[in-house]
């Protein structure tokens, strides 16, 4: 029996080897077809990649397990977000950019967390004197985040040591004797 295949170079093979060859060929075709079908099936989109909203977990506590945040349903929370901080002392560290529209956009852009920067000089401009307007603005921003299903990390923000050169500790809290850093 001859097989027209360059693999066998037109050699005469026995009936048993021919049957094995046919079986291998059929199995190969079957598994190739199965692989193609499965590769297309894996292309379907699932909601597994849907980010977890903060609003889904507000009713149950978020815990930490090792290096993972776990929601009240036992799911790992993957955080995706950005910083939100006003470093402008002339605006009393309160800007008009933090409005309901920006929080809606954060949600629309796929974020589920913001790191909300708090400036010490804005919070406590004098020893023991707390800026109520600043605290109300922080509270307002936290509420806007919650309304849009966003987690909030409060960040006691400081780029440099004091407000002398940037944002950070208030002037009254630094003992620099008017020397540069």
Report if residue 92 sits inside a domain.
yes
Q: Is the pLDDT of residue 60 over 70?
A: no
- What's the gap between Cα 145 and its chain centre? 15
Confidence of residue 6 (pLDDT cuts 50, 70, 90): low
Q: What is the mean pLDDT of residues 57-84?
A: 83
pLDDT at 42: 59
Three-state DSSP class for 138? helix
pLDDT at 163: 64
Strands 68-70 and 76-77: antiparallel
Please give the mean pLDDT across all residues of the chain: 75
Q: Are 2 and 12 in contact (CB under 8 A)?
A: yes
Structural domain harbouring 159: 79-173
Q: Is the pLDDT of residue 23 over 90?
A: no
Report if residue 27 sits inside a domain.
no
73 exposure class (CB count in 10 Å sphere: 0-12, 13-18, 19+): exposed
Report the domain count for the chain: 1
pTM above 0.85, yes or no: no
């Amino acid at each position: 029996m001859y097989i027209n295949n360059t693999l066998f170079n037109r050699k005469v093979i026995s009936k048993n080897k021919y049957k094995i060859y046919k079986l291998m060929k059929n199995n190969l075709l079957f598994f190739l077809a199965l692989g193609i079908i499965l590769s297309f099936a894996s292309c379907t989109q699932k909601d597994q990649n849907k980010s977890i909203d903060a609003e889904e977990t507000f009713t149950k506590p978020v815990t930490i397990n090792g290096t993972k945040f776990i929601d009240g349903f036992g799911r790992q929370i993957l955080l995706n977000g950005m910083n939100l901080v006003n470093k402008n002392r002339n605006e009393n560290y309160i800007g008009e950019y933090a409005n309901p529209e920006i929080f809606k956009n954060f949600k629309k852009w796929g974020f589920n967390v913001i790191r909300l920067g708090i400036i010490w000089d804005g919070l406590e401009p004098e020893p023991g004197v707390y800026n109520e307007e600043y605290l109300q603005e922080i509270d307002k921003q936290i509420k806007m985040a919650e309304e849009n299903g966003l987690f909030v990390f409060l960040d006691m923000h400081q780029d440099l040591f004091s407000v002398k050169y940037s944002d950070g500790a208030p002037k009254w809290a630094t003992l620099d004797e008017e020397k540069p850093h």
